[in-house]
Homo-oligomer: A and B are copies of this chain.
């Protein structure tokens, strides 16, 4: 039976035979969603450059994906990816990294990439915690939860990432949980075809660290929690803030057209060349 090969396996480096995530980690669900999006869009791995930061989620493409992969420093993948995209505007440049990586230390690069509307597809794994370093508070950790760095309950408020990135200027923003792998795949596909900055926020389970901190429990319990607390954005818009407390608003937050940076550069250089002739 084990001769069967997973259909998405063809996108992986042959020598990488196992993932390094903990049992039940949502990162694997996102891995599949990304690869399935690529498959459904009929793209090749050579069309891609994957860029990631540091953290469990940053190991999604690195070293698993059989493509050009830039595994960068903590918090900086978007900044690196900006250089890659400007250098290779015709490639799909996808950033995959964690909530800590992209919104704590890397928050500034994220909002500026959204502002610039540079054509990156960012898959942001929001597990509400710092997984890799052992369960510290992330900017996404709900207020009141006791993590290893907030043992008396976090005193800070958390980011609502998707709408913040909308207000920073992104062209496409969607949020889904790992309980929504099919919608997630669709959103990634949309992000990949978008000419502009696309953020796909994936609310995901870290059963080991977040499960312990939140006392929600294991992978299945967190997935159940996602299921029962998700509210479609269309519905959420009609609810009042009090009702939305503790809910996870999912869906598409924005989807607009506006000039994308790398193509603006291509245009400018082209027009300078014309002007010269």
**5 A-B pairs (CB sep. < 8 Å):** A107-B108, A108-B108, A111-B164, A116-B156, A164-B167
Copies of this chain in the oligomer: 2
A149 at the interface (CB under 8 A from B): no
A11 at the interface (CB under 8 A from B): no
| Complex interface: chain B residues within 8 A of A152 (CB) | 268, 272
Known contacts A105-B108, A106-B108, A111-B111; can you find 5 more A-B pairs with CB under 8 A?
A104-B112, A116-B157, A152-B268, A156-B261, A157-B169
Check B157 against A163 for contact (C-beta < 8 Å).
no
Within 8 A of B (CB), among A95-111: 104-108, 111
Q: Report the count of interface residues on A (CB-CB < 8 A).
A: 31
| Complex interface: chain B residues within 8 A of A258 (CB) | 157
Check B167 against A264 for contact (C-beta < 8 Å).
no
Which single residue of chain B is at the shortest CB-CB distance from A265? B155
Given A107-B107, A111-B107, does the pair A164, B168 have CB atoms closer than 8 Å? yes
Check A139 against B115 for contact (C-beta < 8 Å).
yes
Contact of A159 among B106, B115, B155, B261 (CB under 8 A): B115
